């Protein structure tokens, strides 16, 4: 059975996965899925509440389930949480079902984009910039291994990034 590949966005918090994902879905005419929204809806709790009451380990179990669900679909756009592909099984599943595009940005740009919202438990640190730099360093290899292609989003609008991501998707999906 021929299957239309999914378009999957991965990358660190604040790299624009959700806004770019929505735009790509609108242009491609694909349904849009956000694994964090899926998890929050299913748990009837926000992501910070899940971290607070259940802890990160159970959040990751919920995330694995979300990845499994989206990987059963085809012709959808998926934005994943920033830690999703740190689990090699999640990464392998996503790669099998679609084109995985990594969105990147500098630590400064990530800090700027995430500092206005309080919904990222992992960035609640005394020095959020140092925390971002540390996590980026720890995660870099996993992000690169999981991705088919990457797009730098620093200083760019979501529309501009979406155009590049769609071009990558179309070429890979041909």
> Side by side, which strands form the sheet with 32-34?
32-34, 77-79, 6-11, 98-104, 149-152
| Antiparallel, parallel or unpaired: β 98-104 and 77-79 | unpaired
Question: Would you say 21 and 77 are in contact if contact means Cβ atoms under 8 Å apart?
Answer: yes
Q: Single out the residue of 122, 133, 163, 173 in contact with ligand S3P (rule: CB under 6 A).
A: 122
When binding is defined by CB under 6 A, the residue of 120, 129, 131, 148 that contacts ligand S3P is 120
**Three-class DSSP category at 56:** helix
Bridge partners, 33 (sequence order): 78
Residue nearest to ligand S3P (CB): 81
Taking the least distance from each CB to ligand S3P, the nearer of 48 and 173 is 48
162 binds ligand S3P (CB under 6 A): no
Q: Are strands 32-34 and 77-79 parallel, antiparallel or unpaired?
A: parallel
Question: What is the Cα–Cα distance from 121 to 83, expressed in whole angstroms?
Answer: 12
User: Which CB atom, from 14 or from 98, has the smaller least distance to ligand S3P?
Assistant: 14
Per CB under 6 A, which region of 94-102, 118-126, 148-156, 157-165 contacts ligand S3P? 118-126
**Which of 36, 109, 151, 158 forms a contact with ligand S3P (CB under 6 A)?**
36
Q: Which of 7, 9, 13, 166 binds ligand S3P (CB under 6 A)?
A: 13
CA–CA separation, 142 and 139 (whole Å): 5
Based on CB atoms, which residue is closest to ligand S3P, 81 or 98?
A: 81
Q: Which residues bind ligand S3P (CB under 6 A)?
A: 13, 17, 36, 47, 81-83, 120-122
């Amino acid at each position: 059975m021929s299957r239309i590949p999914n378009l999957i966005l991965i990358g660190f918090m604040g790299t624009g996965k959700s806004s770019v994902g929505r735009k790509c879905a609108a242009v491609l005419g694909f349904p849009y899925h956000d694994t964090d929204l899926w998890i929050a809806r299913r748990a009837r709790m926000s992501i910070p509440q899940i971290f607070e009451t259940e802890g990160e380990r159970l959040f990751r179990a919920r995330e694995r389930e979300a990845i499994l669900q989206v990987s059963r679909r085809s012709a959808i756009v998926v934005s994943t949480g920033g830690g999703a592909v740190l689990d090699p099984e999640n990464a392998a599943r996503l790669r099998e079902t679609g084109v995985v595009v990594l969105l990147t940005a500098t630590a400064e740009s990530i800090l700027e984009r995430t500092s206005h919202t309080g919904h990222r438990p992992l960035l609640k640190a005394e020095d959020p910039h140092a925390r971002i730099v540390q996590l980026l360093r720890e995660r870099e290899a996993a992000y690169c291994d999981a991705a088919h292609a990457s797009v730098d989003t620093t200083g760019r609008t979501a529309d501009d990034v979406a155009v590049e991501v769609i071009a990558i998707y179309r070429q890979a999906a041909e």
